[in-house]
Amino acid sequence: MNDSPDTTRRVPVIIPRPEHNVSRAQISNNALKVLYRLKDAGFKAFIVGGGVRDLLLGREPKDFDVATDAHPEEVRRLFRNCRLIGRRFRLAHVHFGRDIIEVATFRGGPVQEDEPHHVTTDEGRILRDNVYGDIHEDVWRRDFTANALYYNIADFSIWDYVGGAEDVREGVMRLIGDPEERYREDPVRMLRAVRFAAKLGFRIDPASEAPLFKLGELLAVMPPARLFDECQKLFLSGHAVQSFEHLRHYGIFRLLFPTADAEMDSLEGEVFRALVLKALENTDRRVAEGKPVTPTFLFAVFLWGAVTRMAKELREAGGAPMQALLDSADTILRSQQRHISIPRRFGVPMKDIMAMQLRFTHQHGRRALRTMEHPSFRAAYDFLLLRVEAGDEPAETAEFWTKLQDMDSEHRRSAVQPKRGRTRKRRRPPRRKRPAG
């Protein structure tokens, strides 16, 4: 087992091609095009990060990132299909249709304290880091040892400066350098540690794990939009249950979804906890089956407990049921935006899914038929099924809507007719007076 990596070492352990299982045949053709064009132009070119790690584990990488000594502008001159992005980290994106190969220039340490391309806050958080260097410096700027392995297209070897290959074999997530300092540089690394541990089934090295219990509050200064992106990776990549359990264990979930965390810890929180777990399991199952998933559904579940609690209070104060629910959804969603920014394209259908739960209780007349025509009906119906499983709604409600979907239009109209004895007499409109004369 590795000790803490020696950040003074500048000579890598080079693993030759016969001693590892990574093959060019496993690398996408587009990534190979980028690598070979950089190499042919006289630049160094490596696959780096999760792609190498996943190939060593026998997994199929989701994407391939390239590291090079070519500067972003030089990469753009080599590829007409290249776009430069980023202010915090300047990157080159080489586009092949919908496939994007990300190319990063080797980074180095700041030359002097007032270096304009390297800016940090007083707490050590990196705001801008466009100081370029060589591969010997770049490796120490990466986060985890398992993500700091370089596959060299020149001779198909793997360069390992920090014992990452051994940590991959042992199943360990270990930060490079001083863990607390690295988390302060970029607090989102705490979420990345949780995500990789959940995704890969790795354990977090004790020295890298200890700060997770005390530095979570640093996430409050991160842009809510960036946290939204990280949460999508945590919960919509097939390891939602494990991510959730890790986040709760380290006390980080309450910083991302405070109202959901409070509801689960309340005296009445057992049903809500069951609902959240079933939603997470359902999401993982859909990912495994190749079905689409969206943050709309899962985030609606996270906020449901607080919304229904507030709606109940508004109803008891005399508010109409539907208006109470909508007002509560607006209030809770605005509160959530301070922690994780949920884009409007997800926020609006979230509220529709919640409102439909109330509409499902109305099972007679044209209103019931219009409910089935709503664009959010299918997602809301799935939400209803989870609520029934968790004990949050009677099974009869779901049975009615399940049967109604299997009927033809004539039988549907019959099924939603009011029962005898419950028909309300229609009020006759007042007769209009005839004008005099």
- Four-residue CA torsion sign, 252, 256, 260, 262: positive
| Alpha-helical regions (H) of 72-178 | 72-78, 135-138, 164-170
Write down the pTM of the prediction.
0.84
Q: Do domains 13-177 and 258-415 have the same CATH topology?
A: no
The residue type at 400: F
Distance CA 195, CA 176 (A): 17
The residue type at 384: L
For the chain, the structural domain boundaries read 13-177, 258-415
Rounded to the nearest 10 degrees, the angle between the axes of helix 188-200 and helix 240-249 is: 130
Q: Does domain 13-177 have CATH number 1.20.120.530?
A: no
Neighbours of 335 (CB within 10 A): 13
| Phi, psi of 65, rounded to the nearest 5 degrees | -105, 140
CB 140 within 8 A of CB 178: no
Nearest to 320 by CA among 287, 351, 358: 358
Nearest to 138 by CA among 120, 121, 161: 161
Please tell me the class of the 258-415 domain. mainly alpha
Query: How confident is the prediction along the chain (437 residues), in pLDDT tens digits per residue?
Result: 444 444 445 789 999 999 999 999 999 999 999 999 999 999 999 999 999 999 999 999 989 999 999 999 999 999 999 999 987 678 999 999 999 999 999 998 644 444 444 445 555 454 445 688 999 999 988 999 999 999 999 999 999 999 999 999 999 999 999 999 999 999 999 999 999 999 999 999 999 999 999 999 999 999 999 999 999 999 999 999 999 999 999 999 999 999 999 999 988 889 999 999 999 999 999 999 999 999 999 999 999 999 999 999 999 999 999 999 999 999 999 999 999 989 999 999 999 999 999 999 888 778 888 888 899 999 999 999 999 999 999 999 999 999 888 888 777 777 777 665 554 556 666 666 666 65
- Beta bridge mates, 100: 95
User: Among all residues, which ones are annotated catalytic?
Assistant: 63, 65, 143
Neighbours of 80 (CB within 10 A): 8
